[in-house]
A and B are shown apart, each in its own frame.
Chain A
Amino acid sequence: MRRSVSIAVVTVALVAGMGTAAISPKSVSAAAQEKPATAEVKIDNFSFGPAALTVPVGTTVTWTNRDDIPHTVVSTEGVFKSKVLDTDEKFSFTFSKAGTYPYFCSIHPKMTGKVIVQ
């Protein structure tokens, strides 16, 4: 009985070891980019600040609504679209491809901005 138990333990360890081996390449690449790039856009006084933001590929941009009125962040070309953001609510989007991404507030369409991803 004792023997069979120890075999079972070894098998579990092996499987776990294989699992680790399979995962590790991903873990290494994540570690290489340990500080994922982030950037902030503040919504104040019915405007996006900065109105034009330039970031490297892979950057996660977070918009924060600091107005007393709800706003949205909607890509003009349909790439991203936030839910309505009430005061202090946030929306984030990670830009994985280079390009220029114009966006606006669909409630107050005079509010426009763009993210330039290089």
Chain B
Amino acid sequence: MAGKVKDEILYDHNHDGIDRRGFLKCMAWAGTGALCVMSGGVLKSYSLSRLPELSGKEAMGELSFVQISDSHMGFNKPANPDVAGTLKAAVDKINALSAAPEFMLHTGDISHLSKPEEFDTVDQILKSAKPKDVFYVPGEHDVLNDDGKQFLERYGKGTKGAGWYSFDKKGAHFIGLVNVMNLKAGGLGTLGHEQLEWLEDDVKHLKHSTPIVVFAHIPLWSVYPEWGWGTEDSAQALAYLKKFGSVTVLNGHIHQVMQKVEGNVTFHTACSTAFPQPQPGKADSPGPMKVPAEQLKSVLGITDVNYLQGQHALAVVDSTLA
């Protein structure tokens, strides 16, 4: 697969049931990844191979952070028998970035089965990453059997409700949301009334020019509802963010890179560090996708995000572990 797809961003013109208006897909399994720079709603894209051509300041910005997702520690099936090894490779990749990220976001599914030793292993591996601060939101695999109690004890100190919170970094406002609790039969991810009220209140007094970064596990846009890849009440959350000039939404869950721009909102999903999942509707189920061992690292990856203060621009760079 890696050899067939060119190292570039592909516009998807297939009309296969997904709303792809303005849809931009960064094909992570192209083997190199892509840099997407959004400025005033206009998205510029470069292949990673062109990164050296960009000036350092342009590529780095003033705030740099990295997103990792879906470590699934404890998973040991053929799709990746060594998820600890690939998480270590992700950390190596982070440590090799030219602009050292200030912190990391982990968008959930830290563990595979919510076992304490799985969380311990991830904590241990992430200790060797240069950025020391990690901000987490839970995936559905992190809250099994105990309604997320363990997750909150480990990663959610000082958060609200099931683990939602916000913080500010260099003028940008970060919001971690939880959409994996109290899922209803037949439904999608859910934020819930309490969290939505909190969100409305949290952003009420912010200037419209404040860049907003929202991160949550399940996509906050309708990627593929047939596989549960969406969030029931995300429209309400986005309505509260409408007034802002720059909103970047970072998600995981689907184990592949996808991007969509709608008005001032850029939606982006990250690769997993553990195993890939099929493209929407391209398999019988969204289960782990087995690729030849030598290709595995080309379908796993990290996401590096850079913010240029005063320019309202967030650059989202996906790079694979290959």
Contact = CB atoms under 8 A, between A and B. Distances in A.
Contact of A86 (B78, B113, B140, B287): B113
B contact patch SS: loop
Contact of B186 (A47, A69, A112): A112
Given A68-B79, A112-B185, A84 B145 contact: yes
Contact of A109 (B113, B186, B288): B186
Given A68-B79, A70-B141, A110-B228, A104 B186 contact: yes
A107 B186 contact: no
A108 interface: yes
B284 interface: yes
Interface in B128-157: 140-141, 144-145
B183 interface: yes
Contacts of A109: 183-188, 228
B288 A68 contact: yes
A91 interface: no
A59 interface: no
B286 interface: yes
Contacts of A69: 287-288
B74 to A, nearest CB: 9
A contact patch SS: loop
B72 to A, nearest CB: 9
A110 B186 contact: yes
B287 to A, nearest CB: 6
Interface string A98-118: 000011101111101000000
B227 interface: yes
Interface in B212-264: 226-228
B285 interface: yes
B112 interface: yes
